[in-house]
Amino acid sequence: MRFSNRHGKYLCVLAVLAIGATIFSAGVGAQDEGWRIIRAEFGSRTQRADVTSLLIDLVARGGDNGRIPVNEVTMGGNPAPGKDKALHVLARNRNGEERDFEFKEHTYMDVRIFDVREVRRDDWDDRRPNHEGRDRDEWNRLTIIRGFYGVQGNTANVTDLLRSRVREGILSMPVMNHALGGDPAPGVAKVLIVVYRYQGNESATAVREGSTLTIP
């Protein structure tokens, strides 16, 4: 059977549209599936730390322009010094299917892949609905969003304690057991992870036990 040039061009257009639709569907498929985070671990093949709660919190906040950098600061420490690491996320969709997502260290994770709408973002309540009307003092105000002290898999939430230690817009304190309400992991070197907001920007810092935390 012979086709005219007109028919041939028409078929080519249909083929391009079909391919485009396939590519587009693959790109948004993860979002449409509504993947819920079950467990998240960061580390090497043999040394991993449970970062489930931390990751859900970061995803719920939207990351940085929709992305979360995968590194030892955002993931709460370095569980495998000197080794290649990755973030592994076990998630389940609405159909009950499970999938393991892998994000290598020093790359970025797109927060739109995961659905955490059920997570309450209570720490955003301190923002005024009308951002245009806030004054300079509020803009410069230091807000502690989250604080964790300990080691991977064994941490203490010290958010309220850190908030109470802010003085005149500055948080400065020694990272030691007695200053942070106790020792969540006796005999192990610990790290203090602080996620905070200052001048409209959200940042995170990690300070080792025995050092001093100073923000900003």
Instruction: Provide the pLDDT for residue 137.
Output: 57
Instruction: Provide the pLDDT for residue 84.
Output: 93
Instruction: Provide the pLDDT for residue 138.
Output: 57
Instruction: Provide the pLDDT for residue 101.
Output: 95
Instruction: Provide the pLDDT for residue 153.
Output: 65
pLDDT along the chain (216 residues), means of 10: 43 37 37 78 90 83 81 81 93 89 94 70 42 54 86 81 89 91 87 84 84 89
Instruction: Provide the pLDDT for residue 115.
Output: 83
Q: Which two tokens stand for residue 24?
A: 């587009």
How confident is the model over 34-64, as pLDDT tens digits? 789 999 999 999 988 888 888 888 888 777 7
Instruction: Provide the pLDDT for residue 57.
Output: 80
The H or E element containing residue 161 is: helix 159-164
Instruction: Provide the pLDDT for residue 127.
Output: 42
In contact, 57 and 118? CB cutoff 8 Å: no
Taking the domains of the chain in order of start, what are their residue ranges? 33-113, 134-215
In contact, 115 and 34? CB cutoff 8 Å: yes
In sequence order, the β-bridge partners of residue 173 are 213
